[in-house]
Chains A and B, each alone.
Chain A
């Protein structure tokens, strides 16, 4: 049995009058790719936001490698090695790609004095080049990131996340808005990040083909509650999941 890297128990979160998450419990096993699916408005991004510290939860506990993080703040959680990407890609748009990468080094590994050293020492630059090449942005590395195309910005955001050497990466709809011909390339890189770099992935996806092929285990949310859980085959054939997507409720 693999270790559980994220354990969520009984988490509920409401905004105003809307119950976004209700009594959700799930486990993300270490080392694999876990999917989170569900129709729009089922509370997936809210759950991600709760995990990484964007807002407090109303009830429940969230544990990262056994440590209770539900009261921690965003930078604290990031420094533990739990990162997320955003639904709307966020990068540092006035800096070039190299600088975006350089600032994404894991700050938990830096001492105070290290912040005052040269921004790009040899070792770091090699890693930057390697990761930019991994996502196919090496040629564009000196461009201002705000000038990149949408798909390229998504890749940059992904590369920045890798640069931060997370243990677990929460990906919020990584293929959204990507040209279908480029999706396979992205999937391939996600898989390689998981297998070669050992990063556990927890992925929100709407693209069923993508998530069913990538993930070993899938959770399905609907109306803020956990609807189903299992292997891709099990979940795909679960009548409740099918109904939820087709709006039978």
Chain B
């Protein structure tokens, strides 16, 4: 470990690599986390299958690549497919658990996570996959820093998607209906808003966002059927650290998480990367608990 740290201090240019890679992957984390914040804030559903939605989106893009279609097409296709899938899931499962107690929705999405991960494993096998995008890879600083073009593209696309979603939420009628329902569902119903439709749309939108993030992740990183839970934990970490209504916070936390993971993996070794994410989760939870204690409350 100390050897790795000394490399970073001896050759500062490596830090640039870690930071860049962290930002690129972190943007996808932030995107997925925003979806979770949406579902959590509007419907009070803590979606433990979030990461599995992401992986599903990833496999859509990868599978397209295997059929000869460039995986970047996976982005829009994944969005459409996952949106529909999300609607299906809402109608069959989520709608029935939304007004029950919190554990019910938690366990239901937990069951869903298991179903998705195992089904993906049966369909695509347990090997780790990446969707080949055949984009250029550029080097800087005497080959010390490599930047894959696809990562830049992905980063930009994340930004575009985020802007699109935010504009949608601000300006469209459905977006306004969502925000009204998030504030006070009963009042929204009284005003004539069909909250069931709003919930269905919100959940499907989240699935679509996850699908998009997954498609990008499949190209700039790796996917594997059982990696879903890792992404779910990342989304939880980000939302917990940033809070719900705070898009700026989600972006910062997502990017920060990406960078921290890169450093953790480099300094401690790749085997510890998952442990780093969980460690961050525990750290964020402890921090929130201590803060809440100061305010005489417990974390809701």
Interface residue ranges, A against B (CB under 8 Å) = 53-56, 71-74
Contacts and interface: CB of A to CB of B under 8 A. Distances in A.
A54 B297 CA distance: 7
A53 B294 CA distance: 12
Contacts of A54: 296-297
A54 B294 CA distance: 12
A53 B297 CA distance: 9
A43 B91 CA distance: 42
Nearest to B294: A56
A72 B295 CA distance: 10
Contacts of B295: 55-56
Given A56-B294, A73-B296, 12 more contacts: A53-B296, A54-B296, A54-B297, A55-B295, A55-B296, A55-B297, A56-B295, A56-B296, A71-B296, A72-B296, A73-B293, A74-B296
A204 B294 CA distance: 28
14 contacts: A53-B296, A54-B296, A54-B297, A55-B295, A55-B296, A55-B297, A56-B294, A56-B295, A56-B296, A71-B296, A72-B296, A73-B293, A73-B296, A74-B296
Interface residues of B, number: 5
A86 to B, nearest CB: 16
Nearest to A71: B296
Contacts of A73: 293, 296
Which of B294, B295, B296 has most A Cβ within 10 Å?
Answer: B296
Contacts of B294: 56
B69 to A, nearest CB: 50
B246 to A, nearest CB: 14
A18 B294 CA distance: 21
A20 B295 CA distance: 17
A181 to B, nearest CB: 29
Which of B293, B294, B297 has most A Cβ within 10 Å?
Answer: B297
Give the 8 A-B residue pairs with the shortest CB-CB distance, closest first. Answer: A73-B296, A53-B296, A56-B296, A56-B295, A55-B296, A55-B295, A55-B297, A74-B296
Nearest to A76: B296
B245 to A, nearest CB: 12
Interface string B277-300: 000000000000000011111000
B295 to A, nearest CB: 6
B291 to A, nearest CB: 12
Contacts of A72: 296
